[in-house]
């Protein structure tokens, strides 16, 4: 009888021990050093060129080709919303419309991305080249790539990568805007216009245009600030210095989009009125 | 954007209704839109495969007729899995060795600590409804008293092995009871393990141990018992409910979005880890045959951890988040069926899109390098590192509960019995959030991302703890909220019962006192003056009175009637507007009132048992506090949505019967038809969670006559039993459940939600009509056989028994039974389109089985 009891207990013991439920998990490998190295067979500047030949708010469907670039603008500060700016090594820049918020988690500034363009739309959105999932031919309204479909078109590459901004002057921008559209630029010797300095970056309830100028003065540029940005309530500086951001356009009006106020280094003394 | 709304409907102990649970807060948030069930029923269901062992006879009952009444067993065991609650409530008082097991804050008993201890929890005395109990005044549904002392366990050893395919797959259980020796000692030990690498639902797992030990010593007319038990358990959960679109896309009515693959292994984000041991010392003194005095002290302590993904300014990782689904592109403002179809085929071809993307979250954390300035409030203390966007954290309840109970029973003479007692329970729960996995990042921050920063920015607002600003949170650190609830409850009761040949009658009364306060350990930036330190105490006097009689027409025919008037202190969670962040209370916390009446007829003969009962409970002055993310463009915040002065009625009839056809065959059956519904139009106040301004918006909700979601309100069950004398039995059950109504979002029945919608239009009906879930028909089969081992080997003692029990539940494999449904509290106020946030459902398991083999010697 003892033997029977002992053998039953030892069987139970063995069963219990061997039935361990696994709950520890290895961290996945850090994917940032892995580059999928897809074949890139197009260039963003071709898209820009082809897009600017379209009428405003017209679009065309893209064929089977792949571009690659580095994210130069994301939505971390909220000034950019449901889109990212990508610039390739040849210096072309484009907007990707993605129907998702908090994109900077997956596509932060510095992330290399591969974009398979097949079936996407290239649209001349009020003068600005953009890539959309769909463009309504009647109204020209654009739809970003739906959240669940982003993985079909965009492949994440390495991180971080640095894109050095092009150092430009206001006259460079005005004389050949197409060359700089959607790319990262840096301007020296800039300051806010008198009316735009020492005020909120944006009014709380509506997005606001501020004006920046070079000094000595050759021209003024509109800075578009979203009321949803985290720096909406920050005060624009009155000094002079360099400023970095993305060059865009609204129809024919050149515009400047800030990524973050960390790019605004107007720390010198103001020298122009 | 949010998430998880555990709505706690708190007609608590009366219309139990704990519909959707409570959780959430204004700070960072918890994954998924899915709500979590509140414990009562589900742990019962969990325990079902435990309770299977033999026949219903283990549910011994204190009611004179209850042992013949199939009602309680069938209602709890067979119909419980379809969320049936008798009288819509499920609020029996549960005592073990004199200690009340109910949680003071939530009002229901968590059976978690009893799991896997079936062998030693069998000795029960149950009273149902308002009938008098010798152990307690009891709740409106009655009293369940378990004697778990060593002395009351049947001598012997029991080893059992169980296989099933529900929340766990296997169980081994060993119990040894010494019986009472000549010196008056008895001891009892029980241990069990339950486990599953994957349960019935994909991605769930179970890893539970149960331990129990008890010692009894009998000295003359005293019995001393010390009993300790615990069930340390870790289990991976399923999401509670989802919208039908997700079930269809996943082609699985048990869809579970709580897990995803990590390095090729399924990882569940919602893991419950619990260890809350109970220690009880009690003394029973019987100075004479007519008097019994039981005194017990109890201590229960330990943590309940519930994990989920927390995220800060990041895309919602819930794979079934509404913006990821096809339907998002079918709703206004820009419906585009082509896009919806493209998403649908993408998800169908890649089912992993409906599971968590752990690698994506790790990658986001690895790529998010930030510099945090003035860390811990120290100027110039800047730290650069990978700030996690997604983390895994536990919501922790660290509980301590001290109980004292003394209970006397005295028979004055053969006609008059007296009962009474004094009960005191002090419970302290410390609640906080604790980070358990940074998921590749270096730190997280103790920030509140929902604090309203528009218009009047105030950097303090986003601090969860301004005593520790810009605090970096690492593994095991506490963040978000951290507070303690102190609850004290005192009860004194007395009862006198008269027993005569033709009539029994009784009166009972209970005086109670409840007091509670909140103690905060973080100074919330939005509520600096009301979050840190001890709040004032809230005190409530309560009283209960009941009485009733039974007329014994003859030995077979009894008629009875009982009435009860009860007041109950409001639940803590319904008294504080948002207990996690501050000590503000609702305007006038008052006690809830409930009037109950029941009457019935019982017929009992050798062959026939019949009970027919009618009951009615009217509840007034109840409070319901719901917390959810409000999409109303004028709000856009987490809100605390509080209905006060809520009235409801619970009325119905119960019928149960059994008929012995011969010495082998018998029939049993029950029917329960009830109506539980709101009876007034309460006012609602809602308070935003993201700004210090605490003025509330008040409006009227038109919810009169809407049903409360208390499970199926019409149930029928019929069973054929076969029990020859040859040590085996077989049983087949036919069950039908109907009139299970979804939980409503009261705010859809307001002028604001229906503004500009023309009455009687389709849109109007969609907004205000309450959905009834489809009726369901199911069949269960069970059977068992016991063998005397000495038939196999003559040498073995006669009393050694091998018992096999097995059952198949939902034999027809009906996988389309919706057992829970509720309207989401998010609502599209812009377009008044109720299908933007459609109803969520939970489905019953399809065919499932259990088989237990036990050896008794």
| Residue A7 reports pLDDT greater than 60 | yes
Banded model confidence at residue B112, pLDDT cuts 50, 70, 90:
low
Check residue B361 and give its pLDDT: 97
Contact state of A101 with B315 under an 8 Å Cβ cutoff: yes
**Omega into B774 within 30° of 0, i.e. cis?**
no
Question: Distance, in angstroms, between A272 CA and closest chain B CA?
Answer: 32
B16 in any annotated domain = no
State the smallest CA–CA distance between residue B325 and chain A in angstroms.
7
B330 lies in a domain?
Answer: no
The residues in A 112-131 lying below 8 A from B, measured between CB atoms, are none
Which positions in chain A touch B369 (Cβ < 8 Å)? 160
The answer to whether A25 contacts B265, with C-beta atoms less than 8 Å apart, is yes
Q: Do A31 and B271 touch (CB under 8 A)?
A: no
pLDDT beyond 80 at A122? yes
Residue to test with chain B: of A27, A30, A111, A230, most B Cβ within 10 A = A27
Average pLDDT of chain B is 87
Quote the domain boundaries for residue B428: 29-319+355-856
With beta carbons less than 8 A apart as the criterion, state whether B314 and A102 touch: yes
**Best mutation site among B367, B384, B793, B802 for testing chain A: the one with the most A CBs within 10 Å?**
B367
A92 to chain B, minimum CA–CA distance in Å?
24
pLDDT at residue A15 in the model: 64
* Mean pLDDT confidence for B161-184: 93
CA distances, B799 to each of B58, B181, B784, B789, B790 (Å)? 19, 19, 18, 8, 8
Whether residue B619 is contained in a domain is answered as yes
pLDDT in the model for residue B542: 96
Q: Which residue out of A6, A15, A20, A28 would a mutagenesis test of the B interface target, given it has the greatest number of B Cβ atoms within 10 Å? A: A28
Say if strands B416-437 and B369-372 run parallel, antiparallel, or are unpaired.
unpaired
SS (H, E, C) B548-612: EEEEECCCCEEEEEEEEEEEECCCHHHHECCCCCCCCECCCCCCEEEEEEEEEEEEECCCEEEEE
Closest Cβ–Cβ partner in B267, B342, B363 for A149: B342
Does any domain span residue B3? Answer: no
Residue B325 belongs to a domain: no
Q: Which residue has the tokens 């077989």?
A: B730
pLDDT tens digit string along A60-87?
Answer: 999 999 999 999 999 999 999 999 999 9
Nearest CA in chain A to B351: A148
Contact flag A148-B367 (C-beta cutoff 8 Å): no
pLDDT in tens, A25-36: 888 888 888 888
pTM for this predicted structure: 0.90
Cβ pair B454, A204 in contact under 8 A: yes
Task: Return the SS3 of A168.
Answer: coil
Q: Cβ of A28 and B271 within 8 Å?
A: no
What pLDDT, on the 0 to 100 scale, is given for residue B111? Answer: 62
Mean pLDDT of B92-116: 79
Domain for residue B422, yes or no?
Answer: yes
| Residue B501: partners with Cβ closer than 8 Å, 6 or more residues away | B552
pLDDT at B67 over 80: no
Tell me the per-residue pLDDT of B202-237, one tens digit each, with 9 for 90 and over. Answer: 999 999 999 999 999 999 999 999 999 999 999 999
Structural domains in chain B (count): 1
The CATH number given to whatever domain includes residue B45 is 2.40.170.20
Residue B700, φ and ψ in degrees, nearest 5? -100, 135
Cis link prior to A160 (omega < 30° from 0)? yes
Give yes or no for a contact between B686 and B639, defined as CB atoms under 8 angstroms apart: yes
Residue B53's pLDDT is 28
pLDDT of B46? 32
- Given a cut of 50, whether residue B545 has pLDDT beyond it is yes
Q: Determine, yes or no, domain membership for B67.
A: yes
Domains and CATH numbers, chain A: 38-156 (2.40.50), 166-268 (2.40.50.200)
- Provide, as residue numbers in chain A, all residues whose Cβ is less than 8 Å from the Cβ of B359: 28, 31
Give φ, ψ of B455 to 5 degrees. Answer: 70, -65
- Under 8 Å between Cβ of B688 and B637: yes
The reported pLDDT for the residue numbered A21 is 67
| Helix, strand or coil, per DSSP, at residue A119 | coil
Q: Is residue B335 part of a domain?
A: no
The 10 Å CB-count burial string (b at 16+, else e) for B516-555 is bbbbbbbbbbbbeebbbeebeebebebebebbbebebeee
Q: Do B855 and A19 touch (CB under 8 A)?
A: no
Q: State how far residue A28 is from chain B, nearest Cα, in angstroms.
A: 6
Q: What is the mean pLDDT of chain A?
A: 91
What is the mean predicted confidence (pLDDT) over B669-695? Answer: 88
Cα separation, B500 vs A142, in Å, equals 85
Predicted confidence (pLDDT) at residue A2 exceeds the cutoff of 80: no
CA distance A239 to chain B (A): 24
């Amino acid at each position: 009888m003892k033997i029977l009891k002992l053998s039953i207990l030892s069987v139970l013991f063995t069963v219990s021990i061997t039935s361990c439920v696994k709950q520890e998990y290895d961290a996945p490998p850090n994917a940032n050093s892995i580059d999928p190295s897809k074949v890139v067979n197009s260039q963003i500047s071709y898209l820009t060129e082809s897009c600017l030949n379209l009428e405003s708010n017209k679009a065309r469907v893209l064929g089977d080709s792949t571009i690659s670039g580095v994210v130069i603008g994301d939505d971390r500060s909220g000034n950019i919303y449901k889109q990212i700016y990508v610039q390739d090594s040849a210096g072309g820049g484009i907007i990707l419309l993605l129907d998702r918020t908090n994109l900077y988690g997956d596509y932060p500034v510095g992330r290399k991305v591969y974009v398979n363009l097949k079936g996407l739309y290239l649209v001349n959105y009020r003068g600005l080249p953009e890539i959309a999932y769909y463009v309504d031919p009647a109204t020209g309204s654009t739809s970003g790539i739906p959240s669940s479909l982003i993985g079909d078109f965009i492949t994440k590459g390495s991180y971080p990568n640095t894109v050095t901004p092009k150092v430009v002057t206001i006259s460079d921008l005005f004389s050949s805007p197409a060359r700089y559209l959607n790319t990262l630029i840096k301007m020296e010797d800039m300051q806010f216009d008198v009316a735009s300095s020492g005020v909120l970056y944006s009014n709380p309830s509506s997005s606001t245009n501020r004006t920046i100028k070079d000094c000595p003065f050759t021209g003024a540029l509109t800075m578009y600030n979203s009321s949803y940005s985290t720096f909406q309530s920050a005060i624009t500086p009155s000094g002079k210095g360099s400023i970095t951001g993305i060059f865009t356009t609204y129809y024919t009006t050149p515009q400047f989009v800030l990524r973050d106020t960390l790019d605004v280094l107007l720390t010198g003394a103001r020298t122009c009125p | 954007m949010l998430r998880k709304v555990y709505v706690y409907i708190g007609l608590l102990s009366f219309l139990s209704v704990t519909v959707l649970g409570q959780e959430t807060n204004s700070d960072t948030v918890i994954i998924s839109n899915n709500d979590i069930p509140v414990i009562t029923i589900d742990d019962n269901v969990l325990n079902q495969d435990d309770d299977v062992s033999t026949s219903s006879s283990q549910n011994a009952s204190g009611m004179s007729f209850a042992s013949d009444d199939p009602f309680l067993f069938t209602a709890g065991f067979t119909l419980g899995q379809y969320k049936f609650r008798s009288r819509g409530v499920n609020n029996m008082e549960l005592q073990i060795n004199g200690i009340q097991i109910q949680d003071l804050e939530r009002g229901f008993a968590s059976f978690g600590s009893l799991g896997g201890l079936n062998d030693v929890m069998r000795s029960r005395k149950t009273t149902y409804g308002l009938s008098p109990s010798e152990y307690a005044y009891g709740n409106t549904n009655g009293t369940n008293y378990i004697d778990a002392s060593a002395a009351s366990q049947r001598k012997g050893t029991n080893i059992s092995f169980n296989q099933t395919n529900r929340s766990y797959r296997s169980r081994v259980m060993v119990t040894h009871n010494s019986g009472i020796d000549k010196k008056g000692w008895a001891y009892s030990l029980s241990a069990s393990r339950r486990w599953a690498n994957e349960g019935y639902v994909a991605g769930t797992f179970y890893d539970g141990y149960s331990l129990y030990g008890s010692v009894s010593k009998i000295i003359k007319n005293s019995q001393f018992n010390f009993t300790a038990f615990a069930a340390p358990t870790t289990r991976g959960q399923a999401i509670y409910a989802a919208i039908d679109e997700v079930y269809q896309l996943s082609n699985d009515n048990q869809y579970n979005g709580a897990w995803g693959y990590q390095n090729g292994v399924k990882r569940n984000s919602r893991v419950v880890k619990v260890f809350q041991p109970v220690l009880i010392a009690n003394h029973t003194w019987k100075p004479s045959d007519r008097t019994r005095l039981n005194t017990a002290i109890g201590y229960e302590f330990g943590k309940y951890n519930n994990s989920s993904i927390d995220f800060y300014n990041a895309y919602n990782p819930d794979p079934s988040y509404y913006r990821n689904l096809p339907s998002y592109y079918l709703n206004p403002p820009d419906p585009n069926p082509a896009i919806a179809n493209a998403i649908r085929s993408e998800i169908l071809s890649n089912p992993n899109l409906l599971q968590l993307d752990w690698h994506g979250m790790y990658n986001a954390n690895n790529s998010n390098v930030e510099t945090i300035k003035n860390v811990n409030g120290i100027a110039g203390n800047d730290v650069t590192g990978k700030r996690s966007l997604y983390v895994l954290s536990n919501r922790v309840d660290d509980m301590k509960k001290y109980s004292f109970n003394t209970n006397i029973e005295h028979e004055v003479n053969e006609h008059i019995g007296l009962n009474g007692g004094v009960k005191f329970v002090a419970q302290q729960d410390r609640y906080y959030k604790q980070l358990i996995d940074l998921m590749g990042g270096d730190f997280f921050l103790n920030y509140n991302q929902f604090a309203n920063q528009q218009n009047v920015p105030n950097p303090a607002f986003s601090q969860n703890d301004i005593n520790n600003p810009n605090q970096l949170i690492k593994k095991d650190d506490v963040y978000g909220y951290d507070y303690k609830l102190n609850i004290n409850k005192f009860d004194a009761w007395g009862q006198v019962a008269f027993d005569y040949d033709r009539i029994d009658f009784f009166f009972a009364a209970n005086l109670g006192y409840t007091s509670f306060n909140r103690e905060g350990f973080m100074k919330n930036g939005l509520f600096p003056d009301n979050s840190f330190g001890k709040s004032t105490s809230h005190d409530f006097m309560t009283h209960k009175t009941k009485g009733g009689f039974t007329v014994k027409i003859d030995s077979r025919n009894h008629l009875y009637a009982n009435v009860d008037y009860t007041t109950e202190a409001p639940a803590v969670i319904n008294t504080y507007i948002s207990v996690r962040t501050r000590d503000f209370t609702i305007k006038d916390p008052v006690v809830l009132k409930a009037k109950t009446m029941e009457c019935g007829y019982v017929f009992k003969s050798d062959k026939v048992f019949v009970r027919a009962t009618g009951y009615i409970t009217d509840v007034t002055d109840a409070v319901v506090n719901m917390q959810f993310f409000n999409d109303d463009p004028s709000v856009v915040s987490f809100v605390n949505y509080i209905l006060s002065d809520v009235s409801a009625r619970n009325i119905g009839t119960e019928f149960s019967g059994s008929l012995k056809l011969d010495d082998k065959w018998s029939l049993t059956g029950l029917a329960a038809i009830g109506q539980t519904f709101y009876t007034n139009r309460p006012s609602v106040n809602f308070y935003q969670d993201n700004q210090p301004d605490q003025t509330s918006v008040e409006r009227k909700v038109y919810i009169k006559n809407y049903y409360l979601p208390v499970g199926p309100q019409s149930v029928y069950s019929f069973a054929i039993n076969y029990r020859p004398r040859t040590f085996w039995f077989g049983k087949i059950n036919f069950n039908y459940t109907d009139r299970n109504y979804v939980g409503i979002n009261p705010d859809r029945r307001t002028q604001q939600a229906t503004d500009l919608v023309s009455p009687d239009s389709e849109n109007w009906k969609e907004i205000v009509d309450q959905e009834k879930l489809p009726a369901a028909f199911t069949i269960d089969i069970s059977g068992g056989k016991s063998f005397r081992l000495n038939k196999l080997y003559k040498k073995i003692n006669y009393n050694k028994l091998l018992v096999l029990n097995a059952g198949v539940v939902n034999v027809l494999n009906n996988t389309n039974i919706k057992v829970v449904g509720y309207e989401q509290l998010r609502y599209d106020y812009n377009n008044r389109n109720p299908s933007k946030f459609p109803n969520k459902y939970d489905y019953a398991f399809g065919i499932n089985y259990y088989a237990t083999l036990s050896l008794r010697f």
